[in-house]
Every structure is written in structure tokens, then in C-alpha cells.
Amino acid sequence: MSDYHLNRVLYDRAREHKMAESIGPDELTGYDLTAEERAALAAGDLDALFRLGANPYLIRRVFRRRYAL
């Protein structure tokens, strides 16, 4: 399974400068994602997103509020 659509979710938010704590199912209509990817987004599980192939710069940008610095 390609990580393209997972990164697409994050890129689309990053382009709009939208930060998130998590990204729930109602925001994921139209994205071709696996159940594991949807779960990681819904939980805001940053380590899981990284393991699943999310670009770390996009993780950092979208979930910036989750970091202390």
C-alpha cells in the first residue's frame, strides 16, 4: 500500500496552514486510506504515522501543537 494518500491528507492541511491534534473520519472523505492509517490519524499517533510512511516534515507542521517546542 502506498503512503501517498496518507501524505496527501497532511499536505492538504499544511497548505491551508491548518494545525490539528488529530484528524477524524469526517475530515477524511475522499482519501484512499487503510484502516490503520485512519486509526493513526484519528488518534493523532505521531509515531504510528511516521511508521506508516508519513513525511516527518508534514507530521511536524500539521501536529505542531503536540510538540513542547
Q: Compare residues 25 and 57 and give the one whose CB is closer to another protein.
A: 57
Nearer to another protein, 32 or 50 (CB): 50
b/e burial code for range 2-36 (CB count within 10 A of at least 16 → b)? eeeebbebbeebbeeeeebeebeeeebeeeebeee
Piece of 6-14, 25-33, 37-45 that binds another protein (CB under 8 A): 6-14
Is 25 within 8 Å of 42 (Cβ atoms)?
yes
Between residue 10 and residue 69, which ones bind another protein under the rule CB under 8 A?
11, 14-15, 17, 46-47, 50, 55-61, 67-69
What are the residues binding another protein (CB under 8 A)? 4, 7-8, 11, 14-15, 17, 46-47, 50, 55-61, 67-69
